Amino acid sequence: MIRMLHKTGIKSSHMYAAGVASIAASLASWMMSRNYEQTGYDRADHWGIFIGQWAPTFFALGIALRIEETHADVEEEAKVEMFDRASGGVRERAHART
């Protein structure tokens, strides 16, 4: 699932931003429910906690995507190095050309 998210262009910074937005939305929903509904603090607390529980999921997905981003870079470097070794160094590197 993480690899699929990474391939679709979702970055770890997007998930971190969603986590921060979830915290802000949790606070906003708690305040709005507390101020505009006459049901009391219990219902406001439920709304705030419900939305606030999304934040750890977004942060965890952000960490997993960060690992995938780092792993993809390392994997790509390993493929290039393996190709160079397999060809006996015959392939000319772009920076070595004059």
* Confidence category of residue 1, pLDDT binned at 50, 70, 90: confident
Please state the rounded mean pLDDT for residues 74-91: 61
Domain range annotation of the chain? 2-96
C-alpha pair distances (Å), 24 with each of 33, 37, 40, 58, 81: 14, 19, 21, 13, 45
This prediction has a pTM of 0.66
Residue with tokens 């993809």: 72
pLDDT at position 52 is: 86
- Give the model confidence (pLDDT) of 17-66 as tens digits: 999 999 999 988 888 877 777 766 777 778 788 888 999 999 999 999 99
Q: Is 40 left (phi over 0), alpha (psi -120 to 50) or beta?
A: left
Give SS3 for 95. Answer: helix
- Sign of the CA dihedral with 49 first, then 51, 57, and 63 last: negative
